[in-house]
Chains A and B, each alone.
Chain A
Amino acid sequence: MSEKGMFGGKGSGDTSGFGGLVNSATVIASTQRPYGGYFDQVADDLERAYPLFSDAIEKVVVDRGELTLFIKAARLVDVAKILRDQLRFEMCVGVNGIHFPEETSRELHAVYSLLSITRNQRIRLEVCVSEKEPHIPSVVDVWAGANWHERETYDMFGIVFDNHPGLTRILMPDDWSGFPQRKDYPLGGIEIEYKGATVPAPSQRRSYK
């Protein structure tokens, strides 16, 4: 049943929220050319500079004025080097993880935000791996600044960046078990009692999705 309106009522329109916490990932569809703006230029340049382009790219998404290239994990370092040396994306400003438990065999995403100071452009790379084989080659050799960002993504999501110079936990204690930013990792928290009534922990409150 489709959802209606800003408040997302379904069926009878009951949004009392007693359904519990629901997370549903939405897969954004691939975008067809023309992408608009400088994105066509970036894609053209990358295709020209990298003969294996069509083999390395899974899909291209242009959404809300931002370009995301989905890259196969095995090709990531090749693509990264070309982006840095030939397309002048000098900076990898950060690496970010996202966990989509419902995307079978592509549960873990690593998102690389790239910045070109020369061209004043931004693009994003996204690499999807499974929870069972969460291996992505490290881009620290290409952008040294990705070092701590990859460590954080490993710490929080358990994505293993192969050939990283020192992939250890960075924010959590060294002996911590589990990966806190995964969706199946509990938030924790305790009930709060106030004037006789009890407020449940944040993860136990009702959800309106």
Chain B
Amino acid sequence: MTTFTDPYASSQETTEGRVYSVTGGDWDSLVTEIGATKEERVVLNMGPQHPSTHGVLRLILELEGETVTETRCGIGYLHTGIEKNTEFRNWTQGVTFVTRMDYLSPIFNETAYCLGVEKLLGITNDVPERATVIRVMMMEFNRISSHMVALGTGALELGALSPMIFAFREREKVLDVFELLSGLRMNMAYIRPGGVAQDLPEGALKKIRETVKDLRHNFKDNQKLLVGNSIWLKRTQGVGYLDLAGCTTLGITGPVLRSTGLAWDLRKAQPYCGYENYEFDIPTTDTCDVYGRFLIRMQELEQSLRIIEQCVTKLEKLENQPVMVADKKIAWPSQLSVGADGMGNSLNHIREIMGESMEALIHHFKLVTEGFRVPAGQVYTAIESPRGELGVNLVSDGGTRPYRVHFRDPSFNNLQSTAAMCEGGQMADVIAAVASIDPVMGGVDR
């Protein structure tokens, strides 16, 4: 027995017997102290700072040797009170907040929120078609960039480094498109109640066509690396099992649900933004495991490209159409444009309100400082985000600010399945299972 106190290893008596705490450092002294104790129960605190937990997720694992006997999630480390904050800003400013929730799919947060506001306003059918098509195109691009992170980091966490390099290369191309269209690569606040912040810049469609071509070609690299790769198969097949009954009772949606063979996708089941007018398939597998979810994400990339191509065709026909509702009491007056230094007020708009039209100036001032009023009531809108059903509960009291904004984030809900997927499995499979849920802590904690 060592005589000095080890700062990294201590022990204490509890009702369950002697408990040894280890935070790293000298394992030798611990092993000596534990000595001949038969019990091998170890409670392992994984995270919140851990490279394999997708951000600040804390997993509390109870281990019996290498086998996980109990799993619990500790969340809340990224709680920023976005829902509360939106209650103190006007309805349009809310977009800037909600886009920061699930930071890998900002366009989905914005769209779900705006669809809710539009439903409350009763202007769902007044949103111009060009704006809706741009929204669909942005969402599908965002689905690609989000799946790229899911695939890349998922592979990285299982020790495959190259897929991550390729996935982030593809993601960069998508972010370039976002930058061209909205001026920003993340958290764009591009979708606004009534339409989108600005029309496509010159040459955007050409760039999008080229990007789609590049992406389709480049996706093959990751397919070659992972599909059918024997190490990858051994790490993912039969791991993180969750069947349809488990999914329904836990409220699981998205790729995890579709890996049970059920083709449930809100884009088909309860279409919004005109998804019924696009041709695409819902990929499914019936393996209920990590590999199945991986395959689904891979195939969804191609389906998203198909939708984007149809969007481009539609946008060519909708040239010079408006991208914001005609109602001047709702339409955000500040016409924006993308300059060399990012997004800012359009100079033409400044010229008009400052030099030409008093009415336009009044409208600009009233809407920007005060916002528009939304009739009282409550709505729930749901869209299919890359991770499943992203639902938004909006309550209005008739004022210019939301009374309550609640996001039903798919990551938050799906993370509940960690225990069902991991308990009884190996320690290393916990990483694979959590990666297949693809939780984004910004969305979980909001």
Per-residue contact bits, chain A 62-99, to B (CB 8 Å; 1 contact, 0 not): 01111010000000000000000000001111101111
Per-residue contact bits, chain B 352-396, to A (CB 8 Å; 1 contact, 0 not): 000000000000001001111100111110100000010101010
Select from chain B the residue with minimum beta-carbon distance to A63. Answer: B377
A202 interface residue (CB < 8 Å to B): yes
* Structural contact, A23 and B391, CB atoms closer than 8 A: no
Select from chain A the residue with minimum beta-carbon distance to B445. Answer: A171
* Structural contact, A170 and B76, CB atoms closer than 8 A: yes
* Chain A residues with CB below 8 A from B401, complex form: 207, 209
- B318-362 residues with Cβ-Cβ distance < 8 A to A are 329-330
Query: Contacting B408 at CB < 8 Å: which of A21, A23, A96?
Result: A96
* Structural contact, B75 and A66, CB atoms closer than 8 A: no
* Structural contact, A170 and B376, CB atoms closer than 8 A: no
Q: A113-B391, A120-B269, A147-B416 are in contact. Are A202 and B89 (CB under 8 A)?
A: yes
* Chain A residues with CB below 8 A from B377, complex form: 26, 28, 63-64
* Chain A residues with CB below 8 A from B269, complex form: 117, 120
Query: Contacting B413 at CB < 8 Å: which of A64, A94, A122, A203?
Result: A94
Count, chain B residues at interface, CB 8 A = 56
Assembly CA distance A17 to B412 (angstroms): 37
* Structural contact, A187 and B370, CB atoms closer than 8 A: no
Per-residue contact bits, chain B 118-145, to A (CB 8 Å; 1 contact, 0 not): 0110100000000000000000000000
Assembly CA distance A181 to B403 (angstroms): 11
Assembly CA distance A115 to B252 (angstroms): 12
Q: Which of B52-60, B77-85, B154-162, B219-227 contacts A (4 or more CB under 8 A)?
A: B77-85
State how many angstroms separate the Cβ of A200 from the closest Cβ of chain B.
Answer: 11
State how many angstroms separate the Cβ of B390 from the closest Cβ of chain A.
Answer: 10
B251 interface residue (CB < 8 Å to A): yes
* Structural contact, B329 and A6, CB atoms closer than 8 A: yes
Beyond A64-B119, A98-B403, 12 additional pairs, beta carbon < 8 A: A8-B373, A15-B370, A26-B377, A93-B389, A98-B395, A111-B393, A117-B262, A143-B249, A145-B416, A147-B416, A169-B76, A208-B369
Interchain Cβ contacts under 8 Å between A and B, 23 examples = A7-B366, A22-B399, A28-B376, A93-B251, A93-B408, A93-B413, A96-B406, A111-B393, A113-B393, A115-B389, A117-B262, A117-B264, A117-B269, A143-B249, A145-B252, A148-B416, A169-B76, A170-B75, A170-B76, A202-B85, A202-B89, A207-B401, A209-B400
